[in-house]
Structure 1
Amino acid sequence: MKIIMRKKLFLSSAGALLLAIILTTAVAMDAQWLNSLDNLFIQHRIPDISYLTVFAGATATFATIGPMLVIFSVLAIFLLRINYKGLAVWGLGNLFLTSGVGYLLKQLLQRTRPDQVQYIARSSYSFPSGHSLLIMTFICSLFLIYFFRERKLPIFLKLVLILLGITIAGGRLYLGVHYFSDILTGLFLGAGLTFGTAGLFYPYLQQSSPRLARTRKSAFSTWQKVLLSAIAVLVVLVSGASVFALKFYHSSQKMADSMYSPIERTGKLKSPEATEPMSILILGIANDAKRKTDFRANTIMVATLNNQTKETTLVSIPRDSFVEIVGADYQDKINHAHSIGGSEMIMNTVEKFLDIPIHHYVSVNMDGLQTLVDAVGGVTVDNDFAFSAEGIDYPKGKQHLNGWEALQYSRMRYEDPTGDYGRQGRQREVMELLINKILSTKSIFSYQKILDGIGENGKTDLTFDQMQKILTGYHSCLTKIDSQQVQGEGFTGDGVTGEEGISYQKIPQEEVDRVKELLHKQLDIEDK
């Protein structure tokens, strides 16, 4: 009878966990059938009823880690007093395991909340529903505690538990803070882990009974328990890593697809192999949510990645540089090339100006910079002098900035004694800090925000496969960055050389030659 019951626990656990894995995989792959199911429940939501919203929100607080920890602790004390030590330890341990697995999945998948209006606003990740996970863990644990104590669960208590589960799980759906699949996965995961741990430690829990403890020896030796526990932990870790890899791959591909904006260039260069140097034109476009039609490239940087020197060179070009605009047959500010002819024209213009090949481009608008800085938790800059911008005071020295503060820090130029060159220096500083943070292990738990920030606000001619190649083949180059500045001399247009009354930057030939030599060396170009 006992063997049969243990098998039932394992079968129940396997079935519930299998369903949870199927749903998790479907969420990671953004499966159409699951989206249709989730949308079905979203479209048929009950309209907001004030008293029902208050009730659903208040009831949900029962199934949070704080109250659950108190409830399981009280249960553990009660079980210890009546000599059920095994059940007491298992109950608390299983609570920590299920909540830990649920938290890990939230961070790995980073699924955002449903887009529709939430009756009670929530901003954390959506999958799986922690409330559903905890309430199912509580219900199953209580059933099992009664079973191992060889007591029948009172019918009244059964009804209360079932009603509580329906109320909390249904309340999450009504409030619009979770998808149906979030809730279902939480329920399956809670049941699967609880039944699974009970089956794994079945002999130990059986012997929690004072009567059985006196008549039977342990079915598992200490080393067997350690081995089984290690295997269980390993399975959880491997499964979590697999789900993360699957989700990251899918999210990256989705980001790449949304950014992909190929250009038609005459004599377009072939993307280099990982063993060959590569150049990428990085553009910061002036437009944002407020200035939607301003397509000037206010930030222009050429990045060269060289696997032989294990170095990345980042060269800032003044946006007011007076150069030949390739394809327009006249000279103007270099940043106007993007306004006139987009990425193609500014790539051709930079190629002609510096006499180097530009293999690819990446452009990000101002909203993208702000979002990226927030996604990595802010950046710590070292400010050279005190100034104010957009009502924000920036004292001299090191300070931590959020997205909005970093954006204004990198845009200010009127209070800078070196004008636009000072601004370019701060832009390179923020760019380097961003690259370092994105490449750090800490960013792994913010990858979804990072990918969303780039995908919604950026454009590139790099395909998903080419992005993968850069991250894997050129990763070592990104750890060492050499920042350079193209230095010019200011002049005012007279109607013959430049538009009358407009400020420009003339780049002396010797400065152009200096930068050319530097970039030619990084790109392994032989000077003629």
Structure 2
Amino acid sequence: MRKKLFIASGGALFGLLILTIAVTMDAHWLKGLDGIFIQNRLPNIFYLTAFAGATAKLATIGPMIIIFSILAIFLLRVHQRTWVIWLFGNLLCVSGAGFVLKQLIQRARPDQLQYIARSSYSFPSEHSVLIATFICSVILLYSFSEKKMPALVKILLVLSLIIITGGRIYLGVHYSSDVLAGLFLGFGLTFGSAGLFYPYLKPNTIGLRRRRRASIFSWQKMLLSGLAFLVVLVSGISVFALKFYHSSQKMADSMYAPVERKNKLKSPEASEPMSILILGIANDAKRKTDFRANTIMVATLNNQTKKTTLVSIPRDSFVEIVGADYQDKINHAHSIGGPEMIMDTVEKFLDIPIHHYVSVNMDGLQTLVDAVGGVTVDNDFAFSAEGIDYPKGKQHLNGWEALQYSRMRYEDPTGDYGRQGRQREVMELLIAKMLSTKSLFSYQKILDGIGENGKTDLTFDQMQKIMTGYHSCLTKIDSQQVQGEGFTGDGITGQDGISYQRIPQEEVDRVETILHKQLNVAKN
């Protein structure tokens, strides 16, 4: 029987592996399989939807613990303590494995198909995992006790399987492959753990129990268990890496927007310093035609100094707009000529090479902050913005709160410079969060947030090079602010009645010196 358990477990887990690889590779055959069930799904019927939603709650961890507790009471009455320990241990192990796999794969739920809206991730279906674990456990209880399962129990198990799994597909909260993967995971791990602990679960005489208890820790068993664990670990890491690579490439392709510049610079090698122009564009889901760069930062990455310098440029800086032959606010360069013009303008203004650009709109900042679980800022003074109160001191902000925190300027005594300081603060916190190991479990949200709301001339290969070759210098960030003097245009110098920032030459020289040193370039 033990051999049959391992064969059944191996077959189910192999099926799970095939489905997992197909999901990570976005396989066409899997789309076809899911499409069959989606196209032939029943229409939304109120009573059926309510029933499917209510019964699905039975296959969640809370109710399952209650159901398993009832089973445990009967097992304890017949002195089967080992079975009680195995039942709960296996339930928690399988449930935890499903949760971890769901976080690693991060497959989005079917869009515009759900009769009952659900968030979080879709693969595998946790309800299918739990119902499979329950059914499998009942089957094993009867098999090990060598008792024939009553027909009524068989009918109830089949009905529960059909209702739970069929209900998830009917509601549209899972793809059919999500449900199938959940069943494979539940059956595979439950049969496998029963096979692994077979000597303890099978009824034996006292003498046989003692001998098997002594032999279970033999070096052969230890080696087999170690190899099995290693195979599972390597397979899991490989699938995660494959999914991460595929998702990253998809994100890079959606973001890629090359620039056509007359003096386009070659992307530096990892051993050479690099500069990236970071732009926060004013547009979002509501203001789709506003292309002003309200946030302008120059990031320089230097592997020799192991440091990144982040310099904020006031958006109202009165500078020469390269390609337009007149002076204006620097953020207008993006509105007029896109990333090419603002890259050329910043290059001339600070006398440095700009190798690449990254632009993110307002929705992107909000999404990114939410994806990393929020950021904890240290506010200098109390203020309110968009109906949100920000007290003085440290506080944790979600995406919407962080967006308003970084945008407020009217209540700031230093005006736009205070806003730029908060923008750098949020940017540094975001970089730190995205470099942390915790972000691995949210990588899909991070990539989706950037891909849908950002643009860059960096290719996928160049992004990989930055993350690997420049990782060490991203952990140490030096923040700088270009400081100007406010003036109002008179129609000759600037448009009449419009506020500008004039940057003194000594301030330009100061910032240039910092950036020239960081980029290892000489002043022209």
TM-score band by shorter chain is over 0.9
Query: Residue 215 of structure 1: CA displacement?
Result: 5.3
Aligned equivalent of 1:118, options 99, 114, 124:
114
Partner-residue secondary structure (3-state), 2:320: strand
Structure 2: distance between partners of 1:367 and 1:434: 15
- Residues 128 and 165, structure 2, Cα contact 8 Å, conserved in 1: yes
Match of 1:52 in 2: 48
Aligned equivalent of 2:475, options 462, 472, 479:
479
Partner-residue secondary structure (3-state), 1:218: helix
Matched, 1:218 2:225: no
Question: C-alpha offsets along residues 182-237 of structure 1, whole Å, 9 cap, x if unaligned?
Answer: 0000011111111112222223322xx2x544556317333455555544444433
Match of 1:264 in 2: 260
Which TM-score applies when normalising by structure 2?
0.96
Partner-residue secondary structure (3-state), 1:222: coil
- In structure 2, runs of 5+ residues without a counterpart are none
Query: Residue 270 of structure 1: CA displacement?
Result: 0.7
Match of 2:162 in 1: 166
Structure 1: distance between partners of 2:272 and 2:118: 47
Aligned equivalent of 1:364, options 353, 356, 360:
360
Match of 1:326 in 2: 322
Partner-residue secondary structure (3-state), 2:212: coil
Residue pairs, 1:350-499, within 5 angstroms = 350-499=346-495
Deviates further, 185-194 or 64-73: 64-73
Question: C-alpha offsets along residues 2-51 of structure 1, whole Å, 9 cap, x if unaligned?
Answer: xxx32222221111111110001111111122122212322222111111
Structure 2: distance between partners of 1:522 and 1:106: 42
- In structure 1, runs of 5+ residues without a counterpart are none
Amino acid in structure 2 at the alignment position of 1:19:
G
Structure 2: distance between partners of 1:99 and 1:243: 19
Question: C-alpha offsets along residues 131-165 of structure 1, whole Å, 9 cap, x if unaligned?
Answer: 11111111111111111101111122112101110
Amino acid in structure 1 at the alignment position of 2:447:
L
Amino acid in structure 1 at the alignment position of 2:27:
A
Residue pairs, 1:4-153, within 5 angstroms = 5-153=1-149
Aligned equivalent of 1:190, options 172, 186, 191:
186
Partner-residue secondary structure (3-state), 2:490: coil
Structure 2: distance between partners of 1:374 and 1:248: 19
Amino acid in structure 1 at the alignment position of 2:371:
A
Deviates further, 387-396 or 286-295: 387-396
* Percentage identity across paired residues of the two chains: 78
Q: How many residues align?
A: 521
CA RMSD of aligned residues (A): 1.6
Question: C-alpha offsets along residues 394-436 of structure 1, whole Å, 9 cap, x if unaligned?
Answer: 2222221111111111111112121111111111111111111
Aligned equivalent of 2:297, options 298, 301, 307:
301
Amino acid in structure 2 at the alignment position of 1:218:
R
- Residues 297 and 311, structure 2, Cα contact 8 Å, conserved in 1: yes
Amino acid in structure 1 at the alignment position of 2:461:
D
Query: Residue 180 of structure 1: CA displacement?
Result: 0.5
Amino acid in structure 2 at the alignment position of 1:9:
L
Evaluate the alpha carbon distance shift between residue 67 and residue 229 of structure 1 in structure 2; reply closer, same or farther with a 3 A threshold.
farther
Structure 2: distance between partners of 1:379 and 1:370: 11
Which TM-score applies when normalising by structure 1?
0.95
Residue pairs, 1:230-241, within 5 angstroms = 230-241=226-237
- Residues 351 and 523, structure 2, Cα contact 8 Å, conserved in 1: no
Structure 2: distance between partners of 1:83 and 1:415: 71
Structure 2: distance between partners of 1:318 and 1:366: 18
Deviates further, 425-434 or 219-228: 219-228
Aligned equivalent of 1:341, options 330, 337, 340:
337
